[in-house]
């Protein structure tokens, strides 16, 4: 990144994705903080990123910043990973207080029952839309390990949702249909 103009361009291009990552993990207020910290690190460390490296690096950094934020705000405990894994669920509830869509609540509850690593892998793929190679880079594991985590998380989530309530899927399907016009 040669200068301020390049940085600003990258910032405009990638800010929404990093802010969304923060919203999903720590809620909209703290998401601002996460995004600002991530881009501050990039700016101060003068890191050169090829375009296809931008999101993996930014998400990887956001992951660490989020962990630090949760910890510094004493939201983490001895059950740190478990707790953090349900924060997204809790935050989601705050964001959508009236959205008592059974299916959505079921999904959020089921997500909270996945192991933190599996949950993280699945959500990076489904929410952030990263591919396996990028996910592996973000989480610091091999692509194969990441792939296994995603697969295991999908399978487990499917089992949990199946166990919870078949109608949940139906409710969502109906709602989806309502919004598809």
Partner 1 sequence: MTDQQIKELLQAADPARGQVDDQLDAQAYDDLRKIVGTTRRRGKRATYGRLAMTGLAGALVVVVLVAQPWAGSSEEGGPGTAHAGTPPLLKYTPQDKRPAKEQLLDFAARVRALPAEVPSGPVLRLTTKGWYLVSGDMTESYIEPQAATAYVVDRQIRSLQDGQLGDPIGVYWPNELSADPAVLKNQLAYAHPGNSPDSFLAALGDLQAEANPGPKLRAALMTLLADQPGITADGTVVDRFGRRGVAFSLVSDGGGLPSKKTVIFDVKTGVVLGREEMLTEDAGKLNVPIPSVISYTSYLSRDYLPALPK
Q: Which residue carries 């990263």 as its tokens?
A: 130
Sign of CA dihedral 72, 74, 77, 79: negative
- How many CB atoms sit inside 10 A of residue 21's CB? 25
Greatest alpha-carbon span in the chain = 54
Query: How many C-alpha atoms does 75 have within 13 Å on its Cβ side?
Result: 20
| The one among 50, 97, 100, 181 contacting partner 1 by CB under 8 A | 50
In whole angstroms, the minimum distance from the beta carbon of 131 to partner 1 comes to: 14
In whole angstroms, the minimum distance from the beta carbon of 171 to partner 1 comes to: 10
Q: For partner 1, which is the closer residue by CB, 43 or 147? A: 43
Residue 90 lies near partner 1 (rule: CB under 8 A)? yes
Token pair in block for residue 131 = 């591919």
Residue 20 lies near partner 1 (rule: CB under 8 A)? yes
- DSSP per-residue letters across 152-181: HHHHHHHHHHHHH-HHHHHHHHHHHHHHT-
| The one among 55, 103, 121, 132 contacting partner 1 by CB under 8 A | 103
Q: For partner 1, which is the closer residue by CB, 123 or 132? A: 123
Q: Enumerate residues 119-178 that contact partner 1 by CB under 8 A.
A: 122-123, 126-127, 136-141, 152, 154, 157-158, 161-162, 169, 172, 175-176
| The one among 74, 98, 100, 177 contacting partner 1 by CB under 8 A | 74
Residue 98 lies near partner 1 (rule: CB under 8 A)? no
**Residue 69 exposed, middle or buried by CB count within 10 Å (0-12, 13-18, 19+):** buried
Residue 102 lies near partner 1 (rule: CB under 8 A)? no
């Amino acid at each position: 990144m040669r200068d301020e103009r390049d940085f600003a361009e990258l910032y405009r291009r990638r800010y929404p994705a990093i802010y969304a990552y923060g919203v999903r993990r720590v809620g909209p207020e703290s998401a601002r903080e996460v995004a600002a910290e991530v881009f501050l690190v990039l700016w101060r460390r003068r890191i050169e990123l090829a375009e296809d490296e931008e999101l993996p690096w930014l998400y990887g950094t956001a992951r660490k910043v989020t962990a630090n934020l949760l910890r510094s705000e004493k939201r983490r405990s001895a059950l740190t990973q478990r707790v953090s894994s349900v924060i997204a669920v809790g935050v989601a509830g705050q964001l959508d207080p009236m959205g008592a869509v059974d299916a959505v609540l079921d999904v959020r509850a089921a997500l909270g029952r996945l192991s933190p690593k599996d949950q993280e892998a699945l959500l990076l793929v489904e929410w952030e839309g990263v591919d396996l190679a990028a996910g592996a880079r973000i989480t610091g594991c091999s692509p194969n390990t990441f792939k296994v985590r995603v697969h295991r998380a999908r399978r487990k989530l499917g089992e949990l949702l199946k166990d919870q309530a078949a109608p949940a899927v139906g409710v969502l399907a109906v709602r989806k249909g309502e919004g598809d016009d």
